[in-house]
Amino acid sequence: MRTASGGLIDRNVPLNFRFDGRPYRGFAGDTLASALIANGVRLVGRSFKYHRPRGILTAGPEEPNALVELRNGARREPNTKATTVELYEGLEAASQNRWPSLSFDVLALNGLAAPFLHAGFYYKTFMWPASFWEKLYEPLIRRAAGLGRASGEPDPDRYEKAHAFCDVLIVGAGPAGLMAALAAARSDARVILCEQDFVLGGRLLAEHFEIGGKPGAIWARGLETELRSFPGVTIMPRTSVFAAYDGEYAALERVSDHLAMPPPFMPRQRLWKIVARHCVIATGAVERIIAFGGNDRPGIMTASAIRTYRNRFGAAPGKQAAIFTTTDDGWRSIADLRDAGVRVAAVVDPRSEVRKDLVSQAQSVGANVHFGSQVVQAHGAHGVKRITISSPGGAITTIDCDLLGVSGGWNPNIGLTTHLGAKPIWSDGISAFIPGELSRAMSVAGAARGKFSLRDALADGASVGLAVSEATGFARPLLDVPRVGDEDTNMWPFWRSTPTGKFAFVDLQNDVTAEDVQLAAQEGFQNTEHLKRYTTLGMATDQGKTGAVVAQALMAALTGTAMGTIGVPRARPPETPVAIGAFAGHHRGKSFRPYRLTAGHRWAEEQGAIFTEVGQWLRAQWFPRASERDWLETVSREAATVRSAVGICDVSTLGKIDIQGADAGAFLDRVYINVFSTLPVGKARYGVMLREDGFVMDDGTTSRLADDHYFMTTTTANAGRVMQHLEFCHQVLWPDLDVQMISATEQWSQYAIAGPRSRELLRGIVDGQFDISNAGFPFLAAVAVTICGGQPARLFRISFSGELAYELAVPARYGDALARALMEAGAPLGVAPYGTEALSVLRIEKGHAAGNELNGQTTAADLGLNRMMSTRKDYVGRVLAERPALADPDRPALTGFKPVDRKTRLRAGAHLFQQRAAISPENDSGHLTSVAFSPALETWIGLGLLKRGSSRVGEIIRAYDPVRGGDYLLEVCSPVFVDPKGERLHV
Amino acid sequence: MSDVRLVAQPALAEFVFSERFGNPAGPAGVTVVLRHDLRIASVIARRGCEAELAVRVERTFEVAPPPGPHRIRKGNLTILGIGPGRWMFLQEKGAPEFADVLARDLKGLASISDHSDGYAVFEVGGPLARQALAKGVAIDLHPKSFGVADAAVTSIAHIGAMLWQTDDAPRYAIAVFRSSAGSFWHGLRDSAAEFGLTVHPG
């Protein structure tokens, strides 16, 4: 119920919202959880495994229970914690994990089947028969378990990633974080203060604290104002730091989650990478639960959450309360409950006594005080109605209540401190794990390291802030720690009631009970990491923040181990859930990764090109014409045009490396298997380079432009790798060589002009003073020319197609214009653009190895290039290429194949066998690597790697392709199908 | 011989069709000028020639190439340190012969390659330039860390880039490979959308 007054909500701004279709009203400043509580809604969901009714346990991101589906349609987000959802006008949320309705759920019968759903049940129960797993067990489990439903639609929202830098990053804006931020800010450091909540203050918003005579929330607001006055301070509310790396932190800013829909041009969420010289973790502490029967019933909350709802949100979660506490904090809830008009029926404390003033306050509101007592069972189908307590001597009492506040002590929120490996250590003083040894760039302040009282937290925040300022090289500023009263938490370790009762949960989100811990202990899963995995303890969205330590304590008791020895699993990022979309940022759809376009891209588009991705590049694959039935017809026409007339192909994507220096030739001799230092100026040569391990890395042509100037080309796919390799060779292996290299891929737009009429075409482009006759510009010539009336260009007579062919390069700004000029000049000759597919057909017909053959598993000898391997010099890969396995004559070698039945379609990937050999891996003698329909031969042809292939020409072998259902005979032939003597290159 | 004259097409001509993008309210937070006037050449010192090269550059251009990742400007010449013994020389309103002339001037001391067509250069300014760039740039552009005397070879949203600050407004220049210009532009446009973005063809 909403209290008549109080809270930090704005009662002048009512907000309408719906939960499970029913209309409710809250106020600005509410969370969904506080608004539900204010509207008397107790039952908000069903549990994961047993479908038990669940309510709201906490008031923060540690919430295990109140998971809802937020929003509708494509924006529906399951498993959203109602305690962290900021209320907005028109909010719609639905309970999840229930059918047909929240109050009547068929699968709640799982609760009756609980004996079969114990820890590790899916390792055991559903083991046999194995065939049942996929068809029966898994679908059943998936339907029954799991939490909310994903929308199944594309996410309509935008996400961003951003980078921030600071001297001091402070995580958490509670009393310690605020003081640390103030210290750092006053020292002139660049400060980023991240707070997951939408208001700064932490527990100051939730308790009746006074600081310097002001209410805590007002003091926090004043401090925020001061912080904002520093130009070096950035305050980031609604931002969860969810991971710590080496000097870098990941944070999620919920930019628009407090709105029904992100405003135009705004992202929904922004993922920050924050680089900080120092980080102060001031993430506070989480109140923990106690294991007793039915401790999951709606209406059972942490005592601190009750105070939060009362003090911050003006909401009373019940009418008649009881408190079950092992801390003095629990007792402090009494005054807040009284102020909210809630009757306090009883205080149950397992301790034998507490401070007198606490007792008298309880008695003043008429509460019965039960020392040395324990709550053993909570009752009530859809919410707690009464509790059973056991008192010294075994007396059993029943108390009516619809609200039970539980205070089992506080766990410092130390998840972030463990991401870099620091192992939490057990503190007997506060009966909790505290941060272990931290890196020098990280400090922890306040409740996050067990400084629970307000006075301690403020003082600790200030002193950590000052120390960090000094450590990061800033002057130590003046800083007064505000005076406050001191109230110690006085916690006493108490984990489970005895008897524990039925359904005593230690992890409410994963439905792990005290019994499950016992079972894990019996079955030998005693190590804390085993306990976690066997029972699912501490997994999922809340990471077991409220209860996992209870389970660890139970395990310690069961195994007679000290808590410090049992330990706690190291948390890994993310500390709180992060939408996958935030990790993708802008990089989705077509922006998934950067793309690269050649200068002639638009021209190719205008020609109707279909594009294919080659690495990041988009390359024209083919250029269909309206009359053509399919790609094969298009590609065959393009290839035939090159063989019969002339075609042009954009080859700008090939890697180009400018290599200069007095030792450039010597350098190339060492990276290529063949010799380049003897290459005359004005000539190009085909080269092959190996990896250090002796396998082929890449191939291409390199031209010599001047004595000390070479121009290398690489394959498109390997351009970056080759550049890296050359830089490595120069910088690490041979720094003494005078050689300089830089990528020039982007500078040049380059086109292949191929076909018997290519010279005629070029004659219309290349300026008249340049002799491009066969004699004047022979095969493998490479010179600078001018074209189109004075435009500098480079002309190479090289051929991948096997036809008379050239490559012509111009500075990229002229790339578009050159493509158009070539088409115009070639129009009378029947020119056609051709794409990568026709390029591939032409090179297969010619037996040239390409990507499918240069696959990292082939040697130069495998590819028939062994004669290029110079014996007069050393080069990268030479020695290891002589290894016996690489020199084995039995190795599969590049071979050509034709189908015996000329109509058979070949497919790359088919395996090759001797005709009568059984189909088995040991008889496998190779595979087809590249296939094409050859317009020149009017049949499918293939290249492949076949054992001793070159000596088997004429043999009939069997191609077996179980994936595509192929089984046919092939004739082994030379890999050069067209113009085997290479005469066409020289005409 | 052809009577066709080849017409230059600047990088990005095919992407930027409008002058205003993103949030239309108020003055744009980010302004982008596409710098089509720059001539760019890499200068890599020959082995053992760095000192002599520095002297020659200073004699020729009245400014020494900065050691380390730094930027220096003299007249219409900007020099960026892009690696040990490596610089990018940029000439504003430069002539096509820039790289050739440079190669002649520095002959024997450095290897020169022309990159005038290899890069698209975006000059990013406006009151919220830094906030927009923070969405892609992984280095600290705060004045304490990066200023007009600095240059960086970095990666912006997975696209290789050279980055330098041209004035204290601040304005930044970002050079990306010409082929990546469209991809980079889309990222920049999306990053600046919330602030409003105007583009001048330069």
Chain A: residue nearest B135 by CA? Answer: A162
Window 54-83 of B: residues touching A by CB (8 A cutoff) are none
Beta-carbon contacts of B76 under 8 Å, excluding residues fewer than 6 positions away, are B91, B92, B93, B94
Contact at CB, B47 and A810, closer than 8 angstroms: no
Residues of chain A with Cβ-Cβ distance to B183 below 8 Å are 591, 594-596
What average pLDDT does range A652-667 have in this prediction? 98
- List C-alpha distances in Å: A598 to A746, B12, B18, B188: 8, 11, 22, 20
Contact at CB, B46 and A662, closer than 8 angstroms: yes
**From the CB of residue A635, how many other CB atoms can be counted at a distance below 10 Å?**
26
What average pLDDT does range A811-816 have in this prediction? 97
Chain B: residue nearest A791 by CA? Answer: B6
pLDDT number for residue A985: 95
CB contact B177 to A (< 8 Å): yes
- List C-alpha distances in Å: B51 to A69, A156, B70, B149: 67, 57, 17, 21
For residue range A511-539, list pLDDT tens digits in order: 999 999 999 999 999 999 999 999 999 98
Give yes or no for residue B16 having a pLDDT over 90. Answer: no
Three-point CA angle A946, A621, A754, nearest 5° = 80
For residue range A705-738, list pLDDT tens digits in order: 999 999 999 999 999 999 999 999 999 999 999 9
The sign of the dihedral angle between the CA atoms of A468, A471, A477, A483 is positive
Query: In terms of Cα–Cα distance, which of A452, A485, A481, A450 is closest to A182?
Result: A481
Share of chain A above pLDDT 90, in %: 88
CA distance A634 to A623: 7
Contact at CB, B113 and A742, closer than 8 angstroms: yes
Mean pLDDT, chain B, integer: 94
pLDDT number for residue A610: 98
Share of chain A above pLDDT 70, in %: 96
Q: What is the DSSP string of A920-971?
A: SGGG--EEEEEEEEETTTTEEEEEEEEETGGG-TT-EEEEEETTTTEEEEEE
Shortest Cα distance from B147 to chain A (angstroms)?
15
Single-letter residue type at A542:
D
pLDDT number for residue A222: 97
Shortest Cα distance from A748 to chain B (angstroms)?
7
Three-point CA angle A362, A367, A373, nearest 5° = 95
Counted across chains A and B, CB pairs separated by less than 8 A come out at 163
- List C-alpha distances in Å: A517 to A323, A433, A523, A556, A705: 26, 19, 10, 10, 76
3-state SS, chain B, equals CCCCCCCCCCCCCCCCCCCEECCCCCCCCEEEEEECCCEEEEEEECCCCHHHHHHHHHHHHCCCCCCCCEEEEECCEEEEEEECCEEEEEECCCCCCHHHHHHHHCCCCEEEEECCCCEEEEEEECCCHHHHHCCCECCCCCCCCCCCCEEEEEEECCEEEEEEEEECCCEEEEEEEHHHHHHHHHHHHHHHHHHCEEEECC
CB contact B114 to A (< 8 Å): yes
CA distance A846 to A849: 9
Residues of chain A with Cβ-Cβ distance to B7 below 8 Å are 814, 817
pLDDT number for residue A591: 87
pLDDT number for residue A231: 96
Contact A400, A380 (CB under 8 A): no
Place of tokens 């020099």: B79
For residue range A215-224, list pLDDT tens digits in order: 999 999 999 9
Shortest Cα distance from A984 to chain B (angstroms)?
25
CA distance A312 to A2: 11
- List C-alpha distances in Å: A613 to A334, A594, A849: 68, 11, 20
For residue range B65-101, list pLDDT tens digits in order: 999 999 999 999 999 999 999 999 999 999 999 999 9
Find the range with the poorest average confidence among A104-113, A687-696, A846-855, B43-52.
A104-113
Question: Across the beta sheet with A368-371, what order do the strands follow?
Answer: A300-302, A403-407, A320-325, A343-349, A368-371
Contact A196, A576 (CB under 8 A): yes
Contact at CB, A812 and B11, closer than 8 angstroms: yes
Shortest Cα distance from B7 to chain A (angstroms)?
6
Q: What is the DSSP string of A842-884?
A: HHHHHT---TTTSSSS--TTTTT-GGGS-SSS--TTTTGGGSH
- Please tell me which of the candidates A163, A595, A817 has its beta carbon nearest to residue B6: A817
Contact B142, B165 (CB under 8 A): no
Residues of chain B with Cβ-Cβ distance to A724 below 8 Å are none
Residues of chain B with Cβ-Cβ distance to A591 below 8 Å are 183, 186-187, 190
- Please tell me which of the candidates B10, B47, B134 has its beta carbon nearest to residue A163: B134
Single-letter residue type at A123:
Y
Contact at CB, B10 and A813, closer than 8 angstroms: yes
**From the CB of residue B59, how many other CB atoms can be counted at a distance below 10 Å?**
10
CA distance A64 to A67: 7
Contact at CB, A788 and B159, closer than 8 angstroms: no
Length of chain B: 202
CA distance A620 to B109: 41
pLDDT number for residue A96: 87
Consecutive H or E run containing A893: strand A892-899
- Which tops the pLDDT comparison, A703 or A97? A703
What average pLDDT does range B46-72 have in this prediction? 97
Residues of chain A with Cβ-Cβ distance to B45 below 8 Å are 740
Shortest Cα distance from A665 to chain B (angstroms)?
15
pLDDT category of residue A107 using cuts at 50, 70 and 90: low
Six token digits for residue A741 = 């290299």
Give yes or no for residue A663 having a pLDDT over 60. Answer: yes
For residue range B131-186, list pLDDT tens digits in order: 999 999 999 999 999 999 999 999 999 999 999 999 999 999 999 999 999 999 99
Tell how strand A610-614 and strand A655-660 pair up: unpaired
pLDDT number for residue A590: 84
Contact at CB, B2 and A164, closer than 8 angstroms: no
CA distance A966 to A964: 6
pLDDT number for residue A103: 76
What average pLDDT does range A764-784 have in this prediction? 97
Chain A: residue nearest B155 by CA? Answer: A594
Mean pLDDT, chain A, integer: 94
Q: A597 by DSSP, 3-state: which?
A: coil
Query: In terms of Cα–Cα distance, which of A740, A596, A591 is closest to B177?
Result: A596
Residues of chain B with Cβ-Cβ distance to A742 below 8 Å are 42, 44, 86, 113
Report the range out of A17-31, A46-60, A555-569 with the highest average pLDDT.
A17-31
Residues of chain B with Cβ-Cβ distance to A749 below 8 Å are 117
CA distance B101 to A705: 17
Residues of chain B with Cβ-Cβ distance to A601 below 8 Å are 14
For residue range A924-943, list pLDDT tens digits in order: 999 999 999 999 999 999 99
pLDDT number for residue A118: 67
What average pLDDT does range A467-472 have in this prediction? 95
| Alpha carbons within 13 A on the beta-carbon side of A778 | 5
pLDDT category of residue A174 using cuts at 50, 70 and 90: very high
pLDDT category of residue A114 using cuts at 50, 70 and 90: low
CB contact B7 to A (< 8 Å): yes
Contact at CB, B117 and A275, closer than 8 angstroms: no
Contact at CB, A764 and B186, closer than 8 angstroms: no
Give yes or no for residue B1 having a pLDDT over 60. Answer: no
Residues of chain A with Cβ-Cβ distance to B137 below 8 Å are 163
Chain A: residue nearest B117 by CA? Answer: A747
* Residue of B9, B44, B179 for testing the chain A interface, max A β-carbons within 10 Å: B179
pLDDT number for residue A110: 61
Beta-carbon contacts of A794 under 8 Å, excluding residues fewer than 6 positions away, are A705, A711, A748, A782, A783, A784, A785, A808, A809
Contact at CB, B191 and A586, closer than 8 angstroms: yes
Contact at CB, A812 and B117, closer than 8 angstroms: yes
Alpha helix (H) residue ranges in A365-498: 454-471
Length of chain A: 987
Shortest Cα distance from B62 to chain A (angstroms)?
25
Residue A105 DSSP symbol:
B
CB contact B25 to A (< 8 Å): no
Helix axes A328-339, A303-311, angle to 10 degrees: 30
Chain B: residue nearest A745 by CA? Answer: B118
CA distance A834 to A643: 12
Chain B: residue nearest A584 by CA? Answer: B157
CA distance A211 to A118: 49
Residues of chain B with Cβ-Cβ distance to A654 below 8 Å are none
Chain A: residue nearest B156 by CA? Answer: A594
CA distance B89 to B73: 10
Window 121-150 of B: residues touching A by CB (8 A cutoff) are 134-135, 137-140, 142, 144-145
Contact A93, A19 (CB under 8 A): yes
Contact A748, A650 (CB under 8 A): no
pLDDT number for residue A932: 97
Helix axes A548-559, A514-522, angle to 10 degrees: 40
Chain B: residue nearest A734 by CA? Answer: B47
- Please tell me which of the candidates A264, A660, A747 has its beta carbon nearest to residue B118: A747
Shortest Cα distance from A764 to chain B (angstroms)?
4
Residue A136 DSSP symbol:
I
Give yes or no for residue A137 having a pLDDT over 80. Answer: no
pLDDT number for residue B31: 96
Residues of chain A with Cβ-Cβ distance to B47 below 8 Å are 661-663, 736-739
pLDDT number for residue A499: 87
CB contact B113 to A (< 8 Å): yes
pLDDT number for residue A150: 85
pLDDT number for residue B17: 66
- Please tell me which of the candidates A594, A744, A820 has its beta carbon nearest to residue B183: A594
